[in-house]
Amino acid sequence: MHRLHNKLRPYGIGGGLESLLIRPTQSRAKSSRLALQCCPQLTHQLFSALSAVRALPRRWHLDGRFGAVQVVEGRRRLVLSAEAAAAVSASFQGQSVTSEFLTPEVMRLLSQDVTLEEVPDMETETTCAREEDVDLLPPAADFTFAELFAGIGGFRLGLEALGGRCVFACEIHGAAREVYSRNFAGELHGDLRSSKVPAHDLLVAGFPCQPFSALGNQPGLQAPQGQLFGEIVRVLRQCQPEAFLLENVPGPT
């Protein structure tokens, strides 16, 4: 583990897999926002209805995702935009409101197992790293990696820029395989379950998200796609890489 970290440390990746060029500086509570809470079964319907009227802000913070859907004690939280929050709040207070956000479908869902709450709104200030903070010499990290559920090669693009060498990649989706093959040389394997993965320093994987997403009922490992997570465990046990990095949507714990 220390050997791989030492290789990557000059590139801003020492100790943990931190951002290379953009780093969070501080977070502070700026104000509060209103959010809806609902049961998992209503999440997809409510998310779709609110998204259709642009009632949910798209948010991303480097020091922790303040996503459109959060898991809170088994329920789902959807943070509202300021404009939508005003209309929804008035509706919950029993006021007669006409608003583009309060469509018949939204009103139908709000009458079910949905509550309104106030949550802190975190504002993150970010700065780009100064040139003197980053080693700008040509990549020479010299490590190997395997890319499972490779998609179109996002992990590979970043890791090769740091000097990594891909020794194995697999992807089963046809369109993704086509894009990947156009951009990267070498063999792209298909079904991981029938593939033998060679030794490597770092394993990366973006395993299927549908069984784990907070937008669904989260069958997890009980779903056929969810069971593919076991293939990652198999490769980790067989190859014993120095480190691994997994990517997925909000929901897996």
Residues noted as catalytic:
209
Beta-ladder partners of 189: 170
Report which residue type is found at 185. A
Token pair belonging to 219: 């069958």
